[in-house]
Amino acid sequence: MSHNEQHKEILLELRNVTKHFPGITACDAISLEIEQGEIYAILGENGAGKSTLASMIFGLYQPDEGQIFMRGKKVHIDSPNKAVALDIGMVHQHFKLISNYTVAQNIILGDEPKKRALGVFPYVDIKSAEDRIEQLSKDYGLEVDPRATISKIGVSTQQRVEILKMLYRDAELLIFDEPTAMLTPQEIESLLTVIDNLRSQGKTVIFITHKLDEVMQVCDRCAILAGGKLVDVSHIKDTSPAKMAAKMVGRDIEFSAKRPSKQIEETVLSVQNLRVEDSTGFPRVDDVSFEVRAGEIFAVAGVSGSGQVELADTIAGLVRPKRGKVMLKEQDLAKLNVRKHTESGIAYIPEDRQSVGLILDFALDQNLALRSYYQTPYCKTSLLNQKAFSDHADKLIADFDIRCARGAKTPVRGMSGGNQQKAIVGREIEQDADLLIFVQPTRGLDIGAIMSIRKRILDERDKGKAILLISLELDEVMDLADTIGVMYAGKMLEVAPATDLSMTKVGEYMMGVTAND
């Protein structure tokens, strides 16, 4: 992974590229030069303008000001088609795949090889496409079956399909937008190998991420964005993670908020032999047992889809288990409905804050009483008391620093993600429940909101609450947990004190590698 010192041809150049959105300048006069054959990282926090920048290179947005040059020629990229014509390709953060089509059909979509039957009727020549894809996947080490249906293959294979899509169109400049967000450490490793492979075949890669270690590992150069501005471009070999991190957030940050638990007391939640099945009878949670004690953060690590979310939904009462017990102190909740769970003392911050945790079309005050609207003072003999709603909202807005344009009556849809999450966390903490379940509590938030929410979690723990934290961010798990449980394919593979587990070890369990293997 050496960086070639020779002066190389500039493939892509941005000059003073600027993009405004209503109320915000997403990219502010950004100038970059990307050389042929390098892996160029664009690093920044959420909202730093990385994705907007990439979208402009790929023609999804047009810059308001500034120019883009491709191979020295000024270009006007007004659509993804134009970008593809200029040999630019992009792997989006959310894959763009047709779920009921095969791999080959997805790859050729929009650029289908044609043949004619009987010399008249044109048809899509899927056979030759499949052959070409097989060849490509051999050339670049991207293992995939062109005849498999998308809905039946895993996330990392789907990503390979996205990469093949670009290669099929002979892309020279490949943009990866946060490509590792959905992958396990091991899958990340193999993706980075593929990217390295692409470079050795002469391709140029733009790698957008907020993860420093990935940048260090494969990239040649790195541009750092913060608040829409380009703050630094440096050669990886001349810089250090600490320097980059400081530039990324504009100040020195402590990497860890870690505060060990003061005192762990009696068991609050005891899950015993829990089994949860999906509608087809497939076990999502398989014979899981563990305990969470007062004053403890029990963090569950695992790759996306290992059953963590189903586990949380079941403990909170949203899903009925097939077998097993969910004991909150002395009471078995497994057979009770959601409301009984809430009333017994479970607060739940769900993974999907916009469609589960909140009703976006409702006002803030209604959302802040979403779990208690049926009780006094909000409701007496079926009639709602509007004043009780707004008084309660005013109090939570002040206590939890929820920023909202029109106070209690603000429609939640218009609020920022961070403030939406604060509203949910505020509402749930206010219940004074014995057990708080947090699922992906900081996903997609900016660094300020992340810190504030992590602090709330620690505060609640220190107040003697039992905390069940479920996160796909391994950093978050390692940072906050007193005890770590790792789930894989619905099973709880390992439970151990956080101090006994290294990050690598947890990563291995997440991949289903047990000590016996």
CA–centroid distance for 184 within its chain: 12
Task: Between 94 and 262, name the residue whose CB sits nearer to other proteins.
Answer: 94
Q: Could you tell me the smallest distance in angstroms from the CB atom of residue 14 to other proteins?
A: 22
Name residue 293's beta-bridge partners. 267
Nearest distance in Å: CB 280, other proteins: 8
Residue among 171 and 481 whose Cβ is closer to other proteins? 171
Output the smallest distance, CB 216 to other proteins, in A: 30
How far is the C-alpha of 353 from the C-alpha of 49, rounded, in Å? Answer: 23
- The least distance separating other proteins from the CB of residue 162, rounded to whole angstroms, comes to 10
Phi, psi of 192 (to 5 degrees): -60, -35
State the nearest-atom distance from the C-beta of 109 to other proteins, in Å: 4
Count of H-run helices and E-run strands, the chain? 16, 24
CB 256, min distance to other proteins, A: 32
Name the residue nearer to other proteins (CB basis): 468 or 478.
468
Structure tokens at 19: 């993009």
At 55, list the tokens. Answer: 């979208």
With respect to other proteins, which residue has the nearer C-beta, 6 or 279?
279
User: What's the length of the chain?
Assistant: 517
Our CB check for other proteins shows the closer of 233 and 338 to be 338
CA pair distance 441, 425, nearest whole angstrom: 9
Beta strands in 425-502 (DSSP E): 435-439, 466-470, 483-488, 491-497
Sign for the pseudo-dihedral over CA of 453, 455, 459, 460: positive
Residue closer to other proteins by CB (options 426, 512) is: 426
Q: What is the dihedral of CA 411, 416, 417, 423, to 10 degrees?
A: -50
**Contacts to other proteins by CB under 8 A:** 20, 22-23, 60, 79-81, 84, 92, 94-101, 105-106, 109-112, 114, 121-124, 165, 279, 316, 318, 337-339, 342, 348, 350, 352, 355-362, 366, 370-371, 373-374, 379, 382-384
Q: Identify which of 297, 352, 337, 341 has the alpha carbon closest to the alpha carbon of residue 482.
A: 297
Pairing of strands 73-75, 65-70: antiparallel
- 427 or 491: whose CB is closer to other proteins? 427
Query: For residue 17, how far is the Cα from the chain centroid?
Result: 27
Non-local (6+) Cβ contacts of 454 within 8 A are 257, 441, 442, 476, 479, 480
CB of 356 to other proteins, least distance (A): 5
> Which helix (DSSP H) or strand (DSSP E) does residue 233 occupy?
strand 229-235
Q: Name which of 138 and 335 has its Cβ closer to other proteins.
A: 335
CB 339, min distance to other proteins, A: 3
Taking the complex as a whole, the smallest distance from the CB of residue 279 to other proteins amounts, in Å, to 7
Answer whether 34's CB lies under 8 Å from 206's CB.
yes
Q: Which is nearer to other proteins, 106 or 442 (CB)?
A: 106
